[in-house]
Amino acid sequence: MNDSLKVVIYVNIKLSSLRFSLHKDIINHKDILLISFFNNNNNFWIMNMYSDSSYSALKYLMEFEVNIQNLLIITGDFNIQDSIWDPSFSHYSFISNDLIIIADSFNLDLSVPTNLVPTRYSDTIGESNLVINLMFLRSGSTELNNHSIYPDWQLISDHTPLTVSIPIVEEVVNLSKFSIAKNSEEEASFIKDVSFSIKNLDVSDLSDTDKLEDMVNTLTSNTKHAWGKNLKLVNITRHSKSWWTEEL
């Protein structure tokens, strides 16, 4: 059995603000990758998969109940010839039903490419070119409703790239923020100021709730003052906090 890698997803570092994450905790199959990204206060999902000759990835999804909202795309090499997506092929494949059912369960429809060309080109004389790389897109979307096939981009591969544009809501990304860094001089100064404030609190008379509340308000005010006094403007870089999981 060949267990070599069949699916991979690359995420451009310029998209790090969208906080892409790999989710093996939800779908754990060697031929399926599920990733999420965050935009406009929502999580969105993309699935890339490879279906082998035994259709093990499809069978996994048929048997394993997955509840995912906002799945935008399922794409990959499905290894299924069918007249549904290939007009040059005159037959129907029984496994296509499972694929359509899976896509429908995620509220996705089969995408019709802007150019009806094969997605796999054979170097063998007499062997037909095939349409086996497909894309399923969010049902009813007016912005995400078709994809394109680029035979000229296949390079040494016998498969052609498929592309689709995902609309992203523009968000303001702060490049700097005020903070107190851990183990910094500012942190030491903040702790010293708060400690001094606590040490000098008047706790000699806490006979009623009003006096207790006054003391708490004093401590709160002094702590806020110490925090503001020791804040430092720092630049946010792509190394400030990791957005990727260990598997990305």
- The model's pLDDT over 134-148, given as tens digits with 9 standing for 90+, comes to 999 999 888 888 999
34: β partners: 47
What pTM, to 2 d.p., does this model score?
0.68
Mapped onto helix, strand or coil, the DSSP state of residue 224 is helix
Look at residue 239 and tell me whether its pLDDT is greater than 50: no
Residue 13 binned pLDDT confidence (cut-offs 50, 70, 90): confident
pLDDT tens digits along 22-50:
999 999 999 999 999 999 888 999 999 99
d(CA 119, CA 111): 14
Q: Which of 108-117, 121-130, 222-231 has the lowest mean pLDDT?
A: 121-130
Name the 3-class secondary structure at 94: coil
Q: Is the pLDDT of residue 3 over 70?
A: no
Where would I find the H helices in 45-132?
56-63, 95-105
